[in-house]
Structure 1
């Protein structure tokens, strides 16, 4: 059988392998490479990056700020009393979270800080409440069972400034009192399923125009509710609510249907409900 040289030299002696031996070595290398679980390795690498990123975010909240949060949450739970149920505790925590996010966003829009926190602390707390809520609770020694956590991942670089949510269309005038992630109830002045507007500003203007032109004794619009999402907006009724739906409503004492996020108990009863309320709305003084 003919033999072949390969470039291995040991102690000055050339090593010779036959073509069959070389073929077997190459076949062995090919089999080992084929046996490597490439997809699993890539999945593990991605998980390592996610865990590293979340751990880094966990460390971003200073101890003093965590203590402030812990004190507020503890007081909210103490208000429930000793006999409160797990569901009541969960909803109390979600209510506190929604209120705190609302205060931070409102203060941020005016470039202010909320009481007791600096602007930088407010920014860090907003990030933790939006993306690291479960970890924040765990860091403060809180764990409530039987809950499905809806975790949102933000892949933006750590030092990149946060972007404010942008609504398509012209800016809304102050009299519209626009509120993101909000849905108000009320008697329908104009049925939104067949009433679409190009922007939230147009929807608000439609409400203003209807109120101005309404005949004596007729309902006058003082609430507008708009679907800004191109994917449509969730509602517990039987209809499919689409992008740019504009509902004109009236209520002597406007009441919220939903605000910011649907509660855990609500999502348990309505599995198709998203985490965040997709509608935007406003109450107009008439």
Structure 2
């Protein structure tokens, strides 16, 4: 038998349906999760030894020897620091900074005025003036300009065409930055240099012997450095090369022994020891290791030690020192 429900029952069912909506169910679940998280955190924080479980930093103990080595390393590093060099660099940087500041302070218009005046002073010297005269003229202009600036400053007057500030800057440039000012206006005059050769060798000390490549020469070769003897050619050196001066002398000795009766016998040898070749006034190019075999009843010197100035004037390609070495055979 079916029961019938009245209007009140129907109203209660609709109210329950409205309360159990999707949004309210979601809010209830979130609240439940939040309560669970809070309970878990509370249990963790209240657990004994939780904070004490974090790892602690262990103190490292060093031995006396280790501490000594560390201190010694620090001391060595401090000693190795180039303190004087660092200080010198710092001073240079400060000086360059000051010079750069002073250079920037000089206006372009003032530099142009200075350059015009200097050019006029140099033109007055003429085209044939040398560097010494030009430097003296520049120094004279600088001294005169400084005198005028000081005189105007003492009388509380301004120089013609310059304000008090420009006069002050120009005075500082002429006194302390004269070279820098010349560079700024593009003026450069070469400095004359005098070269003096100093001979510090004691008077009685013998000259250093020149080293001759190859084996030593026997006494009968009578080797003479920077010497060129004349004579009739027994063997042309253009096609006769030897490894050393000793070999050239030996070639002269051998030729004299093997010469036929009536033939020329070598008694003079001339050798080119220079790797760059040897000068001769003839038309040929004489190269390294040329060995000339010559004969002369009365040997005469062509050149000895140095070519004279008159000879070099007539022969511009001649060097100062005679490059050949020679000897007259004595048996």
TM-score by length of 1: 0.46
Evaluate the alpha carbon distance shift between residue 27 and residue 209 of structure 1 in structure 2; reply closer, same or farther with a 3 A threshold.
closer
Query: Shift in Å at residue 32 of structure 1?
Result: 0.8
Query: Shift in Å at residue 43 of structure 1?
Result: 1.8
CA contact (8 A) 1:3 1:18 kept: no
CA contact (8 A) 1:91 1:265 kept: no
Alpha-carbon distance in structure 1 between the residues aligned to 2:130 and 2:73: 62
Alpha-carbon distance in structure 1 between the residues aligned to 2:174 and 2:297: 34
Could you give the per-residue CA deviations for residues 93-144 of structure 1, whole angstroms, max 9, x where no partner exists? 0111111111111111111111111111111111111111111111111111
Query: Shift in Å at residue 54 of structure 1?
Result: 1.4
Given the alignment of the two structures, is residue 120 of structure 1 paired with residue 196 of structure 2, yes or no? no
Evaluate the alpha carbon distance shift between residue 27 and residue 76 of structure 1 in structure 2; reply closer, same or farther with a 3 A threshold.
same
Alpha-carbon distance in structure 1 between the residues aligned to 2:88 and 2:193: 23
Evaluate the alpha carbon distance shift between residue 26 and residue 183 of structure 1 in structure 2; reply closer, same or farther with a 3 A threshold.
farther
| Mean CA deviation greater in 210-219 or 142-151 | 210-219
The corresponding residue for 1:142 is: 187
Evaluate the alpha carbon distance shift between residue 142 and residue 35 of structure 1 in structure 2; reply closer, same or farther with a 3 A threshold.
same
Residue among 264, 274, 279 paired with 1:234: 279
Alpha-carbon distance in structure 2 between the residues aligned to 1:241 and 1:187: 17
Evaluate the alpha carbon distance shift between residue 134 and residue 112 of structure 1 in structure 2; reply closer, same or farther with a 3 A threshold.
same
Query: Shift in Å at residue 16 of structure 1?
Result: 3.8
The corresponding residue for 2:103 is: 58
CA contact (8 A) 1:172 1:178 kept: yes
Higher strand share goes to which structure?
1
Alpha-carbon distance in structure 2 between the residues aligned to 1:206 and 1:216: 18
Evaluate the alpha carbon distance shift between residue 101 and residue 229 of structure 1 in structure 2; reply closer, same or farther with a 3 A threshold.
farther
Evaluate the alpha carbon distance shift between residue 167 and residue 189 of structure 1 in structure 2; reply closer, same or farther with a 3 A threshold.
same
Query: Shift in Å at residue 15 of structure 1?
Result: 3.5
SS at match of 1:197: coil
Residue among 43, 59, 80 paired with 2:125: 80
- Structure showing greater relative contact order (alpha-carbon pairs closer than 8 Å, 6 or more residues apart): 1
Query: Shift in Å at residue 160 of structure 1?
Result: 63
Query: Shift in Å at residue 165 of structure 1?
Result: 64
SS at match of 2:59: strand
Alpha-carbon distance in structure 2 between the residues aligned to 1:7 and 1:46: 98
Query: Shift in Å at residue 239 of structure 1?
Result: 67
Between Structure 1 and Structure 2, how many residues are aligned? Answer: 281
Alpha-carbon distance in structure 1 between the residues aligned to 2:9 and 2:305: 74
CA contact (8 A) 1:4 1:17 kept: no
Evaluate the alpha carbon distance shift between residue 126 and residue 43 of structure 1 in structure 2; reply closer, same or farther with a 3 A threshold.
same
When Rg is computed on C-alpha atoms for both structures, the one with the higher figure is: 2
Query: Shift in Å at residue 17 of structure 1?
Result: 2.9
SS at match of 2:292: strand
TM-score by length of 2: 0.40
Could you give the per-residue CA deviations for residues 61-98 of structure 1, whole angstroms, max 9, x where no partner exists? 11111111111111111221222100011011011111
Query: Shift in Å at residue 18 of structure 1?
Result: 2.6
Higher helix share goes to which structure?
2
- Segments of structure 1 that go 5 or more residues without pairing to the other structure are none
Evaluate the alpha carbon distance shift between residue 222 and residue 162 of structure 1 in structure 2; reply closer, same or farther with a 3 A threshold.
closer
Evaluate the alpha carbon distance shift between residue 255 and residue 113 of structure 1 in structure 2; reply closer, same or farther with a 3 A threshold.
farther
SS at match of 1:17: coil
